[in-house]
Amino acid sequence: MTPFALAATDGAARAGILQTAHGDVPTPSFMPVGTKATVKTVDPDELRELGAHIVLANTYHLHFRPGADTIHELGGLHRFMAWDGPILTDSGGFQVFSLRDTILARDDDGVTFRSVYDGEPARFTPELAARVQAELGSDIAMCLDVCPPAGCPRAELEEAVRLTSLWARRQLAADRAPGQLVFGIAQGGADPELRRRSIEEITALGFDGHALGGLAIGESRETMFETTAWAAELLPQDRPRYFMGIGDPEGILEVIARGIDMFDCVLPTRTARTGSALTWQGRLNLRNARFARDESPLDEGCPCPACTRFSRAYLRHLVNQQELLGHRLLTLHNLRFVLDLVAGARSAIERGELQSYKQAALARLQAAEVPT
């Protein structure tokens, strides 16, 4: 039985339901990033109230601190972080390969690198990625992959595709937690031949879902969207399609329109910690002096705690004084903004009106842009 049920069709995109052991995930769906088993400054109950259905945690970081064995002994990741909804765990591949200076060796068996925590040598293999994620007990486990940088030589990109497929076959054969789904990752950058080859090899293995990796890592936006459009069409339509690492409002709308069902990004939470808010008036840098006496809310009509209770002037004060409440309130707002945007797209797909929703939302964002 497929874990993904189609609900409606609108061009390349569609709304569906991803069934997991810890609840259903309506798609398209944005996953707030809880790298170290927490979405920074946000309580799990608040995540539910904001409209989150699924969160992401990271194998690399949890493997080193506090250790998957510790989390397993304490009842698994859901109990450990008090989140009873679905969890997707990244394999750690992106973390390893984005920190290229820490890599000591790479071969068919796996990759050896220095831990960012103590500098000691460590090794990841597909089997270890599977074991750690099984101990964590996530609902969706991602395969260990090789994510090369944008603009790398073609030979390096081709080797990344080869290793990613090799490792995917091995991880798929490894033990998993009861009910755990496993997603494969297609690499290949924006190279049509290599991306197609990777998709062909990964989708032939029979994963529960598929991700487009190796995008949003430095290539142009035009290239990213163009590649997403034709690559998403090559992925099975009866399985979730996951774009790894996009979280700005415009980008979210564009990848949904190109057929993407799931995506994650640290942008909403990281932007909040720098004092900026995502709004229908554009991105607001609250450090700006023009907000010093601004009594209006961040976004008129937004039901988040930051907008219903506090003024821009007060939030600016908190940000400039480095008060933790400011970071927390902006995080709640930014997550609510993105989650509401995606919920709107989901409803539009069900009505068969995604393109008009996207065009109206983009026009509103572009027309209301203000200097930061």
> pLDDT (tens digit, 9 = 90+) per residue, 325-362?
999 999 999 999 999 999 999 999 999 999 999 999 99
Which residues fall within 8 angstroms of residue 314, CB to CB, at 6 or more apart? Answer: none
Which residues fall within 8 angstroms of residue 289, CB to CB, at 6 or more apart? Answer: none
How far apart CA 80 and CA 290 sit, in angstroms, is: 43
pLDDT at 13: 52
Cβ burial 138-174 (10 Å sphere, 16+ → b, else e): bbbbbbbbbbbbbeeeeeebbbbbbbbbebbebbbeb
Query: Residues 73, 75, 79, 84: what is their CA dihedral angle, to the nearest 10 degrees?
Result: 140
Nearest of 22, 80, 78, 87 to residue 57 by alpha carbon: 87
> pLDDT (tens digit, 9 = 90+) per residue, 140-154?
999 999 999 999 999
Residues with active-site annotation:
90, 264
Q: Which two tokens stand for residue 288?
A: 């700006």
pLDDT at 15: 75
Amino acid identity of residue 180, one-letter, is Q
Mean pLDDT of 293-302: 97
How far separated are the first and last CA of the chain, in Å rounded? 49
pLDDT at 2: 40
284 beta partners: 277
- 3 state SS of 94: helix
Residue 39 contacts residue 33 (beta carbons within 8 Å): yes
Q: Give the domains, in start order, of the chain with CATH numbers.
A: 4-264 (3.20.20.105), 272-367 (no CATH)
In percent, how much of the chain has pLDDT > 90?
Answer: 94
How far apart CA 50 and CA 340 sit, in angstroms, is: 8
> pLDDT (tens digit, 9 = 90+) per residue, 249-276?
999 999 999 999 999 999 999 999 999 9
122 beta partners: 113
Total residues found in the chain within this entry: 372
Q: On the CB side of 279, how many CA atoms lie within 13 Å of its CA?
A: 28
Task: State the pairing for strand pair 262-265/29-32.
Answer: parallel
How far apart CA 86 and CA 255 sit, in angstroms, is: 22
106 beta partners: 111
Q: Which two tokens stand for residue 146?
A: 């090789």
**Is the confidence at residue 12, as pLDDT, over 50?**
no
> pLDDT (tens digit, 9 = 90+) per residue, 97-128?
999 999 999 999 999 999 999 999 999 999 99
**Is the confidence at residue 96, as pLDDT, over 80?**
yes
